[in-house]
A and B are shown apart, each in its own frame.
Chain A
């Protein structure tokens, strides 16, 4: 045991990093486990969401995912530390230490290190659990107070699982030091790898082509999908996604392993004899690191892309969903003819605003697609009257046969990347053909009480529309406790729906849409009454929980991936110090040597960041075109935070290499 501790101390640089990062991951795991067992929090969330077990289930699921990630991360880190000591193992074997005894020591070392990591991680976990709980409660809009979370069961589960993992790691290390031929052990690992010129250039170009093609296809996702027959779109979309992902994965790998090292080398060769050695060394060292750590960099790049995309998308979806929820029910209570009587009985004094619409089927054409939908057509004068009480509705600028479409699927009415511009028109089954001049996702009175889409036309055009009259009423009761109780009581009651049969006759315009209270066959449906406050509370809790999980998982992934890169570069720097020392002996100023270190670190860290940001932006732009009035601000903030954290790790790596190396100390200042 004493020997194991001594060995761990001797290699404390790598081990400290492994312990600190492992402890951070364990702290988060513990906090998640302890949170999932907190009954007060679960009950408050269940009450707000009106669904039980969502919070404990979600927390447990994310905890399991992070546990799998932690185990992978620890195996990866362990292999890096093991590689660093392979010559030492070779010498020990050469001097007569048996493979069994050496293996035993390695198992013991792994167990001791994991035990230290667990003690540190679990202690930290108890402390940060309160902070994490506070963040979760804040995002979910709950009113619960929590102290430090104490969960012996979670501690036991994590300890047993991770000690078993450590034992397995130690066993793998022990198995790896077996073998009779000791010569490979005694040779130092090659620090650099020469770029392969043949084939590599083509793979690099093909990789870049695949990456760019993936982005272009992603940007033109919707038009591509709309070209497929309706019945094949689901599977076609899935197939297209698989193809894009595969192309992107392969392309990224080839670009990192072959393309970039060769291009950097070619760039350096083109300027041979014209650049200073510091620039030449920076480029060649970056190329060498890319080749030598192609797998880690590829993995880091994928994780960076996925994390940024998930974080950005989650933020955007959170913003959109929250806005959508507010749009869905604008008035405190909205009723249809079906529910008017019963709701007014409960809220007799409430002032009302009425909206008269006509239900009619219409076909939207333009762009690359054609969509049949059920429109609730309203007159411009009615829309403008309601807009006075609902200022978020866009201003209306219609003339003649122009119309404004109200839909959540704004993507159907927008021009997409790669599409020719063709104006969108709607041919109403029984009424005039109108041209889409404006599009919004803001429904007068709220979205829930609309079947499919709304359509605002001029009063003259409205008079020509033949459709089923459908009236909606917005109720604005005084904000009293009695009203709140009444609304909550109504909201908890059986949800009533209205239906319109989606028959061939209706679609063809031979028959007018008919309102019904029961579904029969294929139908369009809507809520017959909508209540704002309860829906809002449930939505905020659910979306806040989703954002919390995404942010937490994203934070863990960014810290772990950047740490792997940090460790790899610090280990690689050990090997390249001799080269910098030679250059300094030849007269390279210490400032230039330091610049080479920093630029190399910056270059290597920039790669996953640049590709990750590009991927995230492409995905978010695609998502942006699919959702109504997307909220890109929060996504931009989250991605910026990610970039700052990643760059922070780059700075730490540069500092670490600077401090631990002879660079800047052995040589003179210029």
Chain B
């Protein structure tokens, strides 16, 4: 089943005399249950792509479909509903609410509009158990380590059972141990919960936890690498492709 479908996506910033194309005719697709990484050098358009997928930004031309919904055609209220029900977010800087406890932070997506689900407590307990946060539920974000904070963000992204989880450099603020731990959890979420994850990253090691990597350069599709063996081999493939990306030739996209 097709989860994300990006078709001929173009995003141009600026006005008539100062136009910058962040994305140019970008097309790719993600199937349900995939763990896909988006890689590319700075200025490649990764953040623009993520913002469009997150409905924060609008494309100049092209369409994006998520779980059968064309997100560009949504009304304001439908956009808010789409974010609440279909998307989960994991940010580089966690973006937790400092005044709320861990429990409140995790349950935020379910308490944005009425009614509050009757099984909120059990869903909180389940997601907290999955990410080993049960003992931390009544603490405040400032009382947690950065790794723990990112796990809270992951739990928040998961609790509403969204069809797609968007992760923007989720390990960017973590040390290597915490990063490995989080990536392990994301893999677990992908495999056990069967969640589709789309992750933007610079780091080849982080990307090696994905099933497939889409490389973009100058706003267009450059290449993709699919994991067919061990993670170590996949890691090496990613490094090779990243090296090619620095001066290589574009490969045909998978449609």
Contact = CB atoms under 8 A, between A and B. Distances in A.
Contacts of A272: 101, 103-104
Nearest to A194: B140
Nearest to B108: A277
Nearest to B94: A582
A670 B80 contact: yes
Nearest to B111: A277
Interface residues on B, range: 35 or more
A583 interface: yes
Nearest to A274: B116
Interface stretch (A163-171, A281-289, A500-508): A281-289
Interface string B77-100: 101111111010101000101111
A669 B111 contact: no
Contacts of B113: 276, 587, 589, 592, 670
Contacts of A585: 54, 56, 83, 89, 95
Interface string A583-610: 1011111001000000000000000000
A287 B82 CA distance: 32
Contact of A583 (B108, B120, B143): B108
Contacts of A588: 80, 112
Nearest to B83: A587
Interface in A208-253: none
A600 to B, nearest CB: 11
Contacts of A280: 100, 104, 111
A579 B94 CA distance: 11
Nearest to B91: A582
Given A194-B140, A668-B79, A670-B80, A587 B116 contact: no
Nearest to B120: A273
A275 B111 contact: yes
Interface string A249-283: 00000000000000000001100111111101100
Interface residues of A, number: 32
A191 interface: yes
Interface string B143-182: 1000000000000100000000000000000000000000
Given A589-B80, A668-B76, A669-B77, A276 B101 contact: no
A580 to B, nearest CB: 9
Given A273-B103, A587-B81, A669-B76, A582 B109 contact: no
Nearest to A276: B111
Contact of A582 (B77, B82, B97): B97
Contact of A587 (B95, B103, B112): B112
Given A583-B112, A587-B84, A670-B80, A285 B103 contact: no
A586 B106 CA distance: 12
A162 B242 CA distance: 65
A278 B111 CA distance: 8
A38 interface: no
Given A276-B114, A280-B104, A668-B76, A587 B98 contact: no
A88 B138 CA distance: 36
Contacts of B111: 273, 275-277, 280
A667 interface: yes
Contacts of B98: 191-192, 579
A587 B113 CA distance: 9
Max chain A Cβ within 10 angstroms of own Cβ: one of B100, B120, B138, B156: B100
A431 B99 CA distance: 75
A665 B243 CA distance: 42
B107 interface: yes
A587 B80 contact: yes
B73 interface: no
Contact of B80 (A192, A275, A284, A668): A668
A615 B138 CA distance: 37
B70 interface: no
Given A273-B124, A288-B99, A579-B98, A194 B142 contact: yes
B121 interface: yes
Interface string B13-30: 000000000000000000
| Max chain A Cβ within 10 angstroms of own Cβ: one of B54, B97, B142 | B97
A273 B107 contact: yes
Contacts of A288: 99
9 contacts: A274-B120, A277-B104, A579-B98, A582-B91, A585-B83, A587-B81, A587-B113, A589-B112, A668-B79
Q: 5 closest A-B pairs (Cβ-Cβ)?
A: A587-B84, A668-B76, A587-B83, A284-B99, A277-B111
Given A579-B97, A586-B84, 6 more contacts: A269-B138, A272-B103, A273-B103, A273-B120, A585-B95, A668-B80
